[in-house]
Structure 1
Amino acid sequence: MAELDLNTIRAWRPETIIASADQLAQKATAFLAILDEVKDRTNRAAGSSYGSGEEARYAHVDTTVSYGYAQHELMVQHHQLATECGYALKAKRDAVLEEVQAAQRAGLIVRTEGVVEGDYPRQAELMDKYAESVGRAKHDLEQADADFARRIRDLNAKIKEGVGGFREAKNFETFGNVKDEPVDPDKAAKDRAQHIADGDEPLPTDPKALNDLFKHIHADKDPELLKALQHRYPDIGNKPGFPFEDRDVCNRQHMGDMKTQAQAELDALRKQHPDWDTGHPPGTPTDPHLPPGLRDEANKTGQMNNPEWGPWSQRVQQLQHQLEGYNNLQGVLDRSNKDGLPRFLGFIDDKGHAAVSIGNPDTAKKVDTFVPGTGQDMVAIGASDDKSTGLHDAARQADKSLGKNDVSVTTWMGYDRPMTVNPYDKDHTEWAGDPQFALNGAQALDDWQNALRFSHDDAEGRAYQTVIGHSYGSSEVGAAATHGHRLDADALVFVGSPGVFADNAHGLYINPGGRVFDELADNDIIHVANAGDSMGIHPLGVDPSTFDDVTQVKTDPGPAGDDFHTGYTTKAHSSYFFPDSSGLQNLGKIIAGVEPEHK
Structure 2
Amino acid sequence: MPSYFSLLFKQDFSDLKAAGNSWEKLSRKMHDAFDTHRTKVTGPLHANWEGDDAKNALRFLEDIETRVQIVQTEAMAITKVIDTTRHRMEQAQKDLRAVVNDAEAQHFRIDDDGNVRLPKQWEEPQPDESDETRHERQTKEALLQDYQVAINRAVDEALRASGEGQKALAELDGEILDHKNKQMAAESARDADKVMDQLGLKGPKVPDDPKAAAEWWKGLDADQQREYATLYPGRIGAADGLPSDVRDDANRLSMEQELNALQRGDAYAVPGNDDRLHNLQTLKAELDKRDGAPESKQLYLLNHDAGGDGKAVIAMGNPDTADNVAVQVPGTSTTMDSTGGQLTRIGKLQDAAENADSSASTSTVYWLGYDAPEAPLMEAANTDVAGPGRAEDGAQPLRDFTHGLRASHEGERANLTVMGHSYGSTTVGAAASGGEGLDADNIAVVGSPGMTVDRAGQLNTDNVYFGQAPDDGIGWAQGLSLGRGPTHPDWGGTRFETDTSGHSGYWDDGSQSLANQGRIIAGQQPEEYVPPGQHNG
**TM-score (normalised: structure 2):** 0.57
Matches within 5 A, 1:350-361: 350-351=306-307, 352-361=310-319
Two-structure CA RMSD over aligned residues (Å): 3.4
Q: Could you report, residue by residue, the CA deviation over 1:10-60 in whole angstroms, capped at 9, with x for unpaired residues? A: xxxxxxxxxxxxxxxxxxxxxxxxxxxxxx9xx99xx9xxxxxxxxxxxxx
The answer to whether the 8 A contact 1:421-1:431 is kept is no
User: What do residues 377-431 of structure 1 show as CA deviations (whole Å, max 9, x unaligned)?
Assistant: 11211111111000000000001212xxx211000000011011269799xx674
1:515 matched residue in structure 2: 463
Match for residue 384 of structure 1?
Answer: 342
> Which residue is 1:412 aligned to?
367
CA contact (8 A) 1:258 1:350 kept: no
2:26 is matched with none
- Per the alignment, residue 231 of structure 1 pairs with 231
Report percent identity of matched pairs.
35
1:485 CA displacement:
4.3
Point out where structure 1 has 5 or more consecutive residues left out of the alignment: 1-39, 48-193, 270-314, 559-571
Q: 1:371 corresponds to which residue?
A: 329
Check whether the contact 2:279–2:337 (CA below 8 A) recurs between aligned residues.
Answer: yes
Distance change >3 Å, CA 399–CA 335, structure 1 → 2: farther
User: 1:202 aligned to 2:202?
Assistant: no
Q: 8 Å contact 1:467–1:477 — kept in the other structure?
A: yes
With over 3 angstroms needed to count, the CA separation of the structure-2 counterparts of 1:267 and 1:379, relative to structure 1, is: farther
Residue 598 (1) aligns with residue 528 (2) = yes
Q: Name the SS of the counterpart of 1:518 in structure 2.
A: strand
Q: String of CA shifts for 1:233-275, please: whole Å, max 9, x gaps.
A: 6322110111111100000011112222333338999xxxxxx
Shift in CA distance, 217/342, structure 1 to aligned 2, threshold 3 Å: farther
Q: Are residue 348 (structure 1) and residue 290 (structure 2) matched?
A: no
Pair 1:332-2:291 in alignment: no
Query: Using the alignment, how far apart are the partners of 1:210 and 1:473 within structure 2?
Result: 27
CA separation in 1, counterparts of 2:512 and 2:526? 10
Distance 1:239 1:577, change over 3 A: same
* 1:187-224 deviations in Å (ceiling 9; x for gaps): xxxxxxx9xx9558733333233323435779xx75x8
Equivalent residues, number: 333
Superposition pairs of residues 68-107 of structure 1, within 5 angstroms: none
Residue 524 of structure 1 and its aligned partner are, at CA, apart by 0.9
Unaligned runs of 5+ in 2: 1-93, 102-195, 530-537
Q: How far apart are 1:441 and its partner, in Å?
A: 0.9
Determine the C-alpha separation between the residues in 1 that align with 2:220 and 2:300: 17
CA 1:408 to 1:432, structure 2 compared with 1: closer, same or farther past 3 Å?
same
CA contact (8 A) 2:275 2:306 kept: no
Partner Cα distance (1:203, 1:378) in 2: 27
Structure 1 CA distance for aligned equivalents of residues 491 and 418 of structure 2: 20
Cα separation, 2, equivalents of 1:332 and 1:213 = 32
Alignment match, 1:445:
398
| Alignment match, 2:258 | 258
Q: 1:338 to 1:583 in 2, by over 3 A?
A: farther
Which whole-Å CA distance do the structure 2 matches of 1:333 and 1:407 have between them?
A: 19
The equivalences for 1:117-516 within 5 A come to 198-199=201-202, 202-215=205-218, 226-232=226-232, 234-265=234-265, 318-337=272-291, 339-340=293-294, 341-351=297-307, 352-402=310-360, 406-421=361-376, 431-458=384-411, 461-510=412-461, 514-516=462-464
SS at match of 2:424: helix
Post-superposition offset of 1:327: 2.1
Quickly say closer, same or farther: Cα 1:228–1:366, change in 2 above 3 A.
Answer: closer
The structure that has the greater radius of gyration is: 2
Q: Residues 242, 268 of structure 1: CA spacing in aligned structure 2 closer, same or farther, 3 A cutoff? A: closer
Matched, 1:581 2:532: no
> Contact 1:443/1:485 (CA < 8 Å) preserved in 2?
no
1:555 to 479, 498, 511: 498
* Counterpart residue type for residue 578 of structure 1: D
* 1:528 counterpart = 2:458: no
The one-letter code sitting in structure 1 at the alignment partner of 2:253 is: Q
- What TM-score, normalized to structure 1? 0.51
SS at 2:264 equivalent: helix
Counterpart residue type for residue 500 of structure 1? M
Cα distance in 2, alignment partners of residues 484 and 389 from structure 1? 30
Aligned partner letter, 1:247? R
Who is 2:176 aligned against?
Answer: none
* 1:229–1:462 distance in 2 versus 1, CA, 3 Å: closer
Runs of 4+ deviating beyond 6 Å: 266-269, 422-426
Shift, 1:230, TM fit: 4.7
CA separation of 1:592 and 1:200: change in aligned 2, threshold 3 A: closer
Report how far residue 229 of structure 1 moved.
Answer: 4.8
> Is the contact made by 2:211 and 2:403 (CA closer than 8 Å) also made in structure 1?
no
**Contact 2:233 / 2:254 at 8 angstroms: preserved in 1?**
no
